[in-house]
Amino acid sequence: MDDIDRRIVNALQGGFPLTRRPFADAAAPLGLSEAELIGRIRKLRESGVLSRFGPMFNADRFGGHNTLAAMVVPEERFDEVAELVNAFDEVAHNYARDHSFNMWFVVAAESRVRVDEVLAEIAARTGISVHDMPKQREFLVQLRFEA
């Protein structure tokens, strides 16, 4: 990442314009063109610096469901399992943790049934149990990662 990429990552964590030309409007304060911003985001995604670029939806606010899940993944299989888990559109976040439950991820879907299907499919494909921890209470945490 160069300084421009860092500025992009830092600026876009706080929101994205909901306008007719959101990339142009997000690019302007950074001194970039719309095409430059799109190209840099594409390169950050392709290089793996960004694992995801897109909206974060609170599924339960529009009738869907979400859950936090954790797995105990053998270290030698961690990358393989992470790739499998991340292949699901319903997986919003996936983090490595320094704990026996070393992989934690969020599943958000249109229904509780679909959440259960995704968790079952992940368990079936990996051969590893998935521990489901549905949300009981919500807390708003404004977390930013400075690049």
Residue 143 belongs to a domain: no
pLDDT tens-place values along the chain, 147 residues long:
899 999 999 898 878 899 999 999 999 999 999 999 999 999 999 998 887 787 766 777 777 888 999 999 999 999 999 999 999 999 988 889 999 999 999 998 999 999 999 999 999 999 999 999 998 887 766 655 666
The reported pLDDT for the residue numbered 141 is 63
Residue 53 belongs to a domain: no
Residue 114 belongs to a domain: yes
| 9 vs 136: CA distance, rounded Å | 31
Residue 28 belongs to a domain: yes
- In this structure, the answer to whether residues 70 and 120 fall within a common structural domain is yes
- In this structure, the answer to whether residues 33 and 64 fall within a common structural domain is no
The reported pLDDT for the residue numbered 145 is 64
The reported pLDDT for the residue numbered 6 is 92
The reported pLDDT for the residue numbered 120 is 98
Please give the DSSP secondary-structure letter assigned to residue 64.
-
- In this structure, the answer to whether residues 66 and 15 fall within a common structural domain is no
Domain with residue 105: its CATH number is: 3.30.70.3460
Residues with Cβ within 8 Å of 140's Cβ and at least 6 positions away in sequence, in order, are: none
Count of domains forming the chain: 2
- In this structure, the answer to whether residues 20 and 76 fall within a common structural domain is no
- In this structure, the answer to whether residues 68 and 124 fall within a common structural domain is yes
Host domain of residue 127: 59-134
